[in-house]
Amino acid sequence: MELRTLRYFVAVAEELHFGRAAVRLHMSQPPLSRAIRNLETEVGAALFHRSPAGVGLTAAGSVLLDEARALLDRAELARVRVAAAAGAAAVTVGVLGDSADPGATRLADAYRRRHPRVHVSVRETDLTDPTCGLHAGLVDVALTRGPFDRTGLAVRELRADPVGALLRADDPLAGRGGLELADLADRRWFLFPAGTDPLWQSYWNGGRVRRGPVVRTVQECRQAVLWNGTVGMTLADHPPGEGLAVVPLADMPPSRVLAAWSQGDTNPLIRSFVEIAAAAYRRD
């Protein structure tokens, strides 16, 4: 069995969906399906139950999943040890500012346990660069949020978080159990500076051109609301701070936590980072 095929199998086993697994692996679905069928022929057993209701692991598939994960972990560890021996045991991680996330904390703990000799540098960026320096070549991997221009980048989704409107606590809308974007159509929103990724700007402005103060950091967003009655979007489960309130937005897609890195980058430390990140955030 090839390690690449085992990676394909693990992706399908974790996603329990061939389409999602294909997206995760950055490939089309037909060759993925063929690879899994060939693997089933090689091991002499069906690995998945396939039905209109979905995909599930067989008993043989469950056994292979445990074995495949162990084999892939050993292979990853071997690559990392070789990289360390070659003097390449360092990785720079880009993160968005004010990113106090329990998933990130678990990721840091797990990565340190797996790679205690790897030096990790962290570069924090403000809200004007959702790639955290990837496009500029300043970091090896980014722990960030979408959407943004993915040209030349590979991306792994880690989690999806609901969003809400950030308002002053005394705003007439702050007591509502939920809002829609139309309820905020006539309000001033905080904006990001000119030159900010348009996909990123559009998402945080609810898909419309808005007017309002320019901000760069989470704290500036909060101050714009406190001082000027500006509105904007934030994560629904984040504590808003004194004098502020968050009301869920029913018609906004969730904010997606992503790991992103340069396409074609074969650094085993980055691959390991992404896999550990997926496990750390899956616990949420």
The pLDDT tens digits of the residues spanning 271-282 come to: 889 999 998 988
Residue type for 180, please?
E
Q: What is the pTM of this model?
A: 0.71
Q: Mean pLDDT, to the nearest integer, of 33-49?
A: 94
Q: What pLDDT score does 88 carry?
A: 58
Percent of the chain with pLDDT over 90: 55
How sure is the predictor about 246, in pLDDT bands with cuts at 50, 70 and 90?
A: very high
Taking residue 115's Cβ as centre, other Cβ atoms within 10 Å add up to: 23
**Domain 3-86 belongs in CATH node 1.10.10.10:** yes
CATH topology of domain 163-253: D-Maltodextrin-Binding Protein; domain 2 (3.40.190)
Q: How does 74-94 read in b/e, with b if 16+ C-beta sit within 10 Å?
A: eebeebbeebbeeeebebbbb
Strands 90-96, 153-161: pairing is unpaired
Residues listed for the chain: 284
Q: What pLDDT score does 258 carry?
A: 95
Q: What pLDDT score does 100 carry?
A: 64
CA quadruple 61, 64, 66, 72: dihedral, nearest 10: -130
Taking residue 251's Cβ as centre, other Cβ atoms within 10 Å add up to: 12
DSSP secondary-structure letter at 98?
S
Q: What pLDDT score does 252 carry?
A: 94
